Structure formats: C-alpha cells, structure tokens
Amino acid sequence: MTPMKKHSRWLLCLVGLASLVVFAVFFSACGGAMTAASTNSAASMPVHSAQGAAASGSGSTTGSKIAPSNSNIAQQYLIKSLNVTLDVTDTRQVAAQLQSWISATDPRSTSAGASYTEINNNQYDVSLTFSVQSTLYPNIYVYLRDYTAQHGGQLVSFTENVQDVTNDYIDTQSRLINLRGEQQRLLTLLGQAQALNDILNIEQRLTDVEGQIESIEAHLNALNGQVNFYTVAITLQPISTAPPAQNTNAGGWNPGQVWQGAVSAVAAVSQVLATLFIWLLVFSVYIIPVACFALGVRWLRKRRLMQRIAPKLSPITITSTPSQSD
C-alpha cells in the first residue's frame, strides 16, 4: 500500500470520529434544554394546577384523603330532647324497670331527677329524667316508642325536640382559635416591650382577651355537653282500674238526698240573712241618725197639729140630775 493511501484512511477515520463527537455534544445540549424547559414549566405551574395533576395521577388514593374533609364540613351539631308520657298499671314498677334498662343500655347515662307524687291510694305519678349518650339515643328512642306495645299500657304523648347548633358551634370554635392566636401575639409583644406605658396597655388587652377566652370556652363546653348527651324525660301515669260508681237510687225518692237539699237550702238562706245583717250593722252609722231625724220631725209636726186644734175644742161640762126617789 502506498503512503498516500495510508494517510487518506487515517484522515477519514479522524473526520468520522470528530463527526461522532460533535453529534454527541449537540444531542446532550438539546436534551438538557428540554429538561430545563420542563422543569421551568413545572415550577411556573399554579399550585392548584399541580395539586390537580397530582390528584389525577394518584387516582383513588387521593380521593380517599379528600373525603374526610368533606365529611367534616357536612357534620352537624344537634341538641335533642325527648318527652314521653305513658299510662301504665304500676308506675313504680315500670319506673324501676326503665331505670334498670337505661342504665344497662348506656352505662354513662345519668339520672337528672325523679319525682313520685301520690294521687290516690297506693297510686303514684312518676317523673324521670335521664341524660344519655347521643350515640345510644336512637336505641332508647325506639324502646320507649314501642314500650306500651310490648309491655302493655298506653302511649299518651311522644315528643322529640331537635335544635341545630352547627353555626354556633363552628363560630365559637373559630372565635376561640382567633383569640388564642391574639393571646400568643400579645404575650410575644409583652416580652419585647420596654416602655412602661406599652407594657400596661398590652397587659390590659391581654386581660380582656383571656376573659373572652374563658367565656367562649365555657360556652363551647356547654355545647359539647348538650351535643354529646341528650335529655330524655319520662312521665308515668297510673291507669284507673276501679269501675265507675253506679247510682242505685236513680229515678226513685231518696230521703237522704232530700234532707241534704233542705239543709243546703237552710244554710244558703242563713248565709243571705247573715250577710244582710252585717250590711245593716255596718251602715247603721247612717241609718240610725236618719231614723232619729225622721222620728223627731214627725213628733214636731204632731205637736204643732195638737196645738192648733186645742183652742177650738169647747170644754165639756158634766151635770148630774136628781133621781126621782129623792
């Protein structure tokens, strides 16, 4: 092989190698530019768009994470109370049974009061009040509603009152969070304050905020108690088993009733006469002077009349005649 041919081959190899190097450098530059462009586009993407892309990529897993937040937003806070009136044969026995059943069904239930009032011989009106858990309230609701159907008696009234305090509950929580945040800021400012006037102003504001926090916490605790425990009031009334009294003397003459009627009439007349006498006695301060004045006027008129008539009367003389025997 001639020296010229050898040099031409080496030159071709060098040109090919240089072309490969240039192509590799160009390809790597293009790839880096594409990567940087994609990175910049991802960085400039809005937050909600990125979250939407992540949600579309994660599928059902992300959906399960979002569900609890929706359920919290839709949660309701209710206050319920139930008033039940039952007519039963033995009110004290039924009261003991209901107390035992409610205590067994809800161990955390509490009795808010009981009242026994005797209305007849060995018959009582019983009033019971319970505070039961809201989670077990539906069981107690159904049991009391169907009690007379299963145990006898009569369901007189069954009233449930429901109050929605969701807005009040959420607003109270928000106010409490805001006030606690303000309390922390005031404490930070109090630690940084140097002037005496600033310290006094911050302490005054801090005292007001802490007072509001205590009031709101008390209101929130009361709401929690009413939302978590419902009131159940039960009134038990006895069923009257005595037959109605029959009038054996209906349509006949009854001397006892006649006597009672006469005595009642005499008593009524006596009351009327006694009332009239009392009125006359009270008004005698006016009646007696008027009567005396009328009698005096009548006496004066009679006397004047006698004085006018007396002169006109002639004297009467009596003469006696002698008898013939003399």
Query: Residue 161 is inside which H or E element, if any?
Result: strand 154-164
Say if CB 252 and CB 106 are below 8 A apart: no
The Cα–Cα gap between 119 and 114 comes to 16
The predicted pLDDT at position 322 comes to 55
DSSP for 73-129 reads HT---EEEEEEEEEEES-HHHHHHHHHHHHHHH-TT-EEEEEEEEEEETTEEEEEEE
* Residue 16 burial (CB count, 10 A): 10
- Report the run of H or E that residue 65 belongs to, with start and end: helix 60-73
Please count the residues of the chain: 326
Helices (H), 120-234: 137-145, 147-151, 166-192, 196-228
Contact 116/126 with Cβ under 8 angstroms?
A: yes
Residue 129 has a pLDDT of: 96
Question: Amino acid letter at 192?
Answer: Q
Q: Which residues of 238-254 are buried (b: 16+ CB within 10 A; e: fewer)?
A: beeeeeeeeeeeeeeee
pLDDT in tens, the chain (326 residues): 454 444 555 555 555 555 555 555 454 544 544 444 443 333 333 333 333 333 333 333 333 333 334 444 568 899 999 999 999 999 999 999 999 999 999 999 999 889 999 888 888 999 999 999 999 999 999 999 999 999 989 999 999 999 999 999 999 999 999 999 999 999 999 899 888 998 999 999 999 999 999 999 999 999 999 999 999 999 999 986 544 455 555 556 778 778 888 888 888 888 888 898 898 888 888 888 888 888 888 888 888 888 878 776 555 555 555 555 44
Distance CA 182, CA 206 (A): 9
One-letter amino acid of 320: S
Phi/psi of residue 250, each to 5°? -65, 130
Helix, strand, or coil (residue 201): helix
Residue 163 β-bridge partners? 79
5 three-state secondary structure: helix
What is the per-residue pLDDT for 271? 87
Residues 280, 283, 289, 292: what is their CA dihedral angle, to the nearest 10 degrees? -10
Distance CA 58, CA 115 (A): 62
Distances from the Cα of 203 to the Cαs of 91, 158, 186, 191, in angstroms?
A: 61, 54, 8, 11
Closest to 172 in 3D by CA, of 231, 131, 214, 135 = 214
- The residue ranges of every structural domain in the chain are 78-163, 167-226
